[in-house]
Structure 1
Amino acid sequence: MAVTDAPLILKLSVDDAIAGLALSSEAHWNQTEEDWRIFLRDGIVFGIRDGMRLVATAALLPYSGNNAWISMVLVSGTHRRRGLATRLVDACLETARKNGLTSWLDATPDGAAVYGPLGFTPTLQLRRLKLTRPGRAELPPSSSATLEELAERDRRATGFDRTALLSAFAQRAGSLIVAANGAIALVRDGRTARHIGPLLADNAAAALVLVDQITRSETSPLLLDAVASQAAFMDGLTASGWTIERPFQRMRFGPATAAGEDMPFAVAGPEFG
């Protein structure tokens, strides 16, 4: 295919949320329509269509301190191995460069092999864990935790101010902010499973107690994206029935502009950081 015949890269709008959801659902990802609306409303989402059908996407979601997250890199099974994902990631990187943004992403092992030669630097590693059979619908843990407390702990862990993102999560039906004994977490709905994260805590024991309290109040499958270096936390989760689904490698393109003071135990998700 000649360069002039390459499919056009478009900027998508909030009207494309359902089409984006179809792509992430095809890939068996956990995003909801509300998640897509965050990217489309607060970030820049590039897409490629085949006729009227959306067949590929990549999103750039700006954060504070000249940082941005690249995610939602999706290509329909009917259009893979045509270089569409690379073109869309390049569009995200070029937009970040023009705006002076350092780009971050959480990559699968296959993705990390692609992003490394592009200039991305590995940082921390994540492990996605799943609990298929949680508790018996006990009452949710009582908590006087506030969005402000969660956002402040999240800022200390990431170096980013993500109050707007966490507020969008917290305002959804079914979302909870729970805290106990120096640990705090957000629980929200996903397409096929509830998601715990971010999870911040003073120590692994407090983090595990809070996760146990959450699981006892849930009946749906649960997902959690744990920081791999939090070994005691990881060991406690697997001992209590959580299974590791897949690894992710966090990577950065550009100078380090933010450094967290504390290490999180679980993140908001590979699509959000």
Structure 2
Amino acid sequence: MTVNHDIQLLESSDIPGALKLCRASGWNQLATDWHRLIEHEPDGCFALKVNQEIIATATTTCYGSDLAWIGMMLVHEQHRRQGIAKALITTCLEYLHSRNIRCIKLDATPAGKLVYSQLGFRDEWSFHRWHRESDGTHQQGNLSAHDTLDRWNPNLDKAAFGVPRTGWLNRLAAHSHVIRYREGCGMIREGYLASYLGPIIASTPSSAGRIVTDLLACSKRTTFWDIPHPNHNAVMLAQARGFQAVRNLTRMWTGSELIPCDLSLQYAISDPGTG
């Protein structure tokens, strides 16, 4: 199957099809997540269709010219192992190279890691998805999410993440509950299967613990929390609150220069699709 010439831009009108693919794949994204990605990078989100139906997607998220992410790499189960993932990733890389991005990162599942390694991506570090079941008292949609970035700490976030990402965080805050204290800040937002905890940036474990406790109090739904494995303080916070590690992923990178981050400040990433 030749797929390269069938790849096209993913547009807002395609979101129902992208959501259908999410549901078939057991992913957590809502329509707001897809809108956010397309609005942030309208020329860098891609789809493959068969008979007008979306069977695969991939997105890019640029943080200036220093760093970008590839995410939302989804291929319908019936169309896997046909070279589609490789073709979509290649399209994303071509787009990011045209933008002269210095460092390109992604978060890989064990299966995806094999594909990305063949395309020149190298391991940076690993992380786990942590999961805690709902107590049954809250249902989807009860999390108030209409915040602004006024409650974020951009200098601390840049130190943690490696580059400024204020534009992206502004979009994320619009559909998240945001908490900020002097030594840290964090968000929680709704998802289809669970609330999603992150990003959380903090300069001390005690501040991180306070942020986590207050954010978790906003939603009693099942919660996902993606934690960099090297941040042992974050792992201990998750374990103390009844979370269990359920999935392993690897952060990978390619490009002319690795943009470093400070994992001691990162207690939760923002999303495997955007870093």
Name stretches of at least 5 consecutive residues in structure 2 with no aligned partner.
none
Secondary structure at 1:265's aligned position in 2? strand
What TM-score results when the alignment is normalised by the length of structure 2? 0.87
Q: Identical aligned pairs, as a percentage?
A: 27
- Residues 145 and 99 (structure 1), Cα distance of their counterparts in 2 relative to 1, 3 Å cut: closer
- When residues 98 and 242 of structure 1 are mapped into structure 2, their CA distance, relative to the original with a 3 A threshold, is same
| Cα gap change, 1:265 to 1:10, in 2 (>3 Å) | same
Q: How far off is 1:6 after superposition?
A: 6.5
Check conservation: 2:194, 2:223, Cα contact below 8 A. yes
Go from structure 1 to structure 2 and tell me whether the alpha carbon gap of 1:216 and 1:207 turns closer, same or farther (over 3 Å shift). same
Residue identity opposite 2:23 in structure 1 = S
| 3-state SS, counterpart of residue 260 of structure 2 | coil
Q: Deviations over 1:67-100 (max 9, x none)?
A: 2110111111221121111111111111112221
2:107–2:249 Cα contact (<8 Å) kept: yes
**Range moving further from structure 2, 121-130 or 209-218:** 209-218
Assess, with a 3 A threshold, how the Cα gap between structure 1 residues 118 and 248 changes in structure 2: closer, same or farther.
same
Q: Which residue of 1 aligns with 2:49?
A: 49
1:160 matched to which residue of 2? 163
Number of residue-to-residue matches in the alignment: 264
- 2 CA distance for matches of 1:167 and 1:182? 20
How many Å apart are 1:113 and its aligned residue?
Answer: 2.3
**Equivalent residues in 2 for 1:172-187, closer than 5 Å:** 172=175, 175-180=176-181, 182-187=183-188
Q: Distance in 1 between matches of 2:137 and 2:207?
A: 22
- Structure 2 counterpart of 1:272, one-letter code: T
Could you tell me which residue of structure 1 aligns to residue 71 of structure 2? 71
The CA RMSD measured in Å over matched residues stands at 2.4
Partner secondary structure for residue 6 of structure 2: coil
Unaligned runs of 5+ in 1: none
Q: 2:189 corresponds to which residue?
A: 188
Q: Aligned residue for 2:173?
A: 170
Q: 1:12 to 1:134 in 2, by over 3 A?
A: same
> Structure 1 residue 182: deviation in Å?
2.2
Whole-angstrom distance in 2 between the partners of 1:248 and 1:60: 18
CA deviation string 1:239-258 (max 9, x = no partner) = 32101121111111102263
Structure 2 counterparts to residues 99-178 of structure 1, below 5 A: 99-101=99-101, 102-133=103-134, 147=150, 149-172=152-175, 175-178=176-179
CA–CA distance in structure 2, aligned partners of residues 148 and 213 of structure 1: 14
Q: Using the alignment, how far apart are the partners of 1:226 and 1:99 within structure 2? A: 30
Aligned to 1:27: 25
Alignment correspondent of 1:207: 208
Deviations 1:14-53 (A, max 9, x none): 2111211111221111111111112222221111111111
- After TM superposition, the score normalised by the length of structure 1 is 0.88
Aligned-partner Cα distance in 2 for 1:63–1:271: 13
Cα distance 1:72–1:32, how it changes in 2: closer, same or farther (>3 A)? same
